[in-house]
Amino acid sequence: MRDENCIFCKIIAGEIPSNTIYEDDEFKVVLDVSPASKGHALILPKNHYADLYEIDENVAADAMKLAKKLAIHMTDVLKCDGFNLVQNNHEVAGQTVFHFHMHLIPRYLNAKNND
């Protein structure tokens, strides 16, 4: 399932370069090109779903399991002190790329890493 006009589908296919930090059969996880903090990552399902309204519920459940695994791993590696897990739906909520994704945004007590 792919949308020919979708930038994240192109990233998943390797047609647009990305900084990939994790990949399996179902997901690709890349660093955000415009990070809100050091290590800001995007969890992308490989199949195209526009948003939470459209996503298969099993894929959504797997995305949440992966978010937990990555949060633990990234806390270990990045030494962050907390996380925001953010997922925007529709333009009015701030969604700019219409391929479902979850933002993993590490937060740091040391404020210089937060932006």
Interface residues with ligand 5GP (CB under 6 A)?
Answer: 7, 11, 16, 18, 30, 32-34, 42, 88, 94-97
Residue 48 binding: pick among ligand 5GP, Zn ion, none (C-beta 5-8 Å cut-off by kind): Zn ion
The binding track of 4-43 with respect to Zn ion, each residue x by CB under 5 A or -, is --x-xx----------------------------------
Our CB check for Zn ion shows the closer of 39 and 45 to be 45
Tokens linked to 2 = 């792919």
Residue 3 binding: pick among Zn ion, ligand 5GP, none (C-beta 5-8 Å cut-off by kind): Zn ion
Which of positions 49-108 make contact with Zn ion (CB under 5 A)?
99
Our CB check for Zn ion shows the closer of 99 and 103 to be 99
HSE at residue 92, side-chain half, CA atoms within 13 A, is: 0
101, 43 contact by CB (below 8 A) = yes
Show which residues are catalytic: 101
Asked whether position 3 contacts Zn ion by CB under 5 A, the answer is yes
Q: How far apart are CA 106 and CA 41, in angstroms?
A: 9
Question: Residues for the chain: how many in total?
Answer: 115
Q: Which helix (H) or strand (E) holds 12?
A: helix 7-12
Name the site residues for Zn ion (rule: CB under 5 A).
3, 6, 8-9, 48, 99
